[in-house]
Amino acid sequence: MNEEQIKLAATAANLWFGRKQVLKNVSVAFPKNKITALIGPSGCGKSTLLRCFNRMHDLSNDVTIEGKFLLEGEDLYKGSLSATEVRRRIGMVFQQANPFPKSIYENINYGLKINDIPKEERQEIIEHALKESYIWDEVKDDLQKPATRLSGGQQQRLCIARAVALRPEVILMDEPCSALDPISTSKIEELILKLKKDYTIVIVTHNMQQAQRVADQTVFMYLGEIIEAGDTSQIFDEPGMELTKNYVQGHFG
Ligand SMILES: Nc1ncnc2c1ncn2[C@@H]1O[C@H](COP(=O)(O)OP(=O)(O)OP(=O)(O)O)[C@@H](O)[C@H]1O
């Protein structure tokens, strides 16, 4: 991958929670306008790595982070970027849809407000974000309804709308479908595939079929290390490492 294709990267990253090292010399690059699946057994550090890119560990005082986390070459920790700016440019969607206990409208409006988007522009941005996230038709007549009354799959698409409304460059998704039924899952997958035209996407998933359906690149982690990264077809069909092969074939994890 040449420099110009890389949107997001970590180099020689280490992370400790207290004395426990959870990321070990992690170097990884996520290409622009592509979907990367991050796979590996439970506890190997996938979420921890994802959260580093969004400065989610900033508020924990027992976390030590070393190495570099770069957005188009710009250091996410050492430069002039604030955590708020980092989170605007790098959006995140979580395993459990987490709408605010407010209306559908307010769920998106809130982020626009705190990012100083003028009031007169917000209506159009909200409508566009809901359309872009394939949920507009289901909610357009009831934008004042509490978001918590939507189904799980609708809530997750609303959370994606909330993220895209801020026009991020990257969307990080931490097992976004693990709490959803197969129909909602396929809607989200369809949405993810559509979004890659405009965004760089990194998705943590335990679902090997999902990784193969959506990801261009797959990264396999084990015990805090990156074992192998490559085109999804290569990782699944011709893995270079025995460990990767055993994992993708379901022998452990
Ligand atoms: N805040 C924390 N304090 C201490 N240890 C933590 C903290 N968060 C995570 N860990 C530990 O770090 C390791 C990696 O956790 P992480 O959630 O990144 O793994 P994961 O690969 O995403 O797992 P899963 O697939 O189960 O979500 C685990 O051993 C976990 O117990």
Nearest protein CA to atom 4 of ligand 1, as residue: 17
Asked if residue 212 is part of any domain, the answer here is yes
Please count the structural domains in the chain.
1
Choose the residue to mutate in 46, 65, 95 for probing ligand 1, maximizing ligand atoms within 8 Å of C-beta. Answer: 46
* Contact between 14 and 24 (Cβ < 8 Å): yes
* 200 part of a folded domain: yes
- Give me the pLDDT at residue 97, please: 86
Say what the pLDDT of residue 90 is.
96
3-state secondary structure of 248: helix
Q: Buried b vs exposed e over 19-58: b needs ≥16 C-beta within 10 Å?
A: eeebbbebebbbbbebbbbbbbeeebbbbbbbbbbbbbbe
On whether residue 179 sits in a domain, the answer given is yes
Domain extent, residue 214, equals: 3-97+168-248
Cβ of 22 below 6 Å from ligand 1? yes
pLDDT at position 165 is 95
The stretches in the chain having pLDDT less than 50 are none
CB of 46 within 6 A of ligand 1: the answer is yes
Domain with residue 49: its CATH number is 3.40.50.300
Closest residue by Cα to atom 25, ligand 1, is 42
Residue 148 lies in a domain: no
Q: How far apart are CA 196 and CA 246, in angstroms?
A: 29
Q: Residue 59 falls within a domain, yes or no?
A: yes
Token pair 């189904």: residue:
151
Question: With a 6 A CB cut-off, is 44 part of the ligand 1 pocket?
Answer: yes
Q: What are phi and psi of 34, to 5 degrees?
A: -130, 165
Q: What is the pTM of this model?
A: 0.93
**Average pLDDT score, the chain:** 94
Q: Looking at the domain assignment, is residue 152 inside a domain?
A: no
Asked if the structure places residue 65 within a domain, the reply is yes
Q: Is residue 23 part of a domain?
A: yes
For 217, list phi and psi in degrees, rounded to 5: -120, 145
Tell me how far the alpha carbon of residue 22 lies from the centroid of ligand 1, in angstroms.
7
> Could you give the CA distance from residue 251 to residue 243 in angstroms, rounded to a whole number?
10
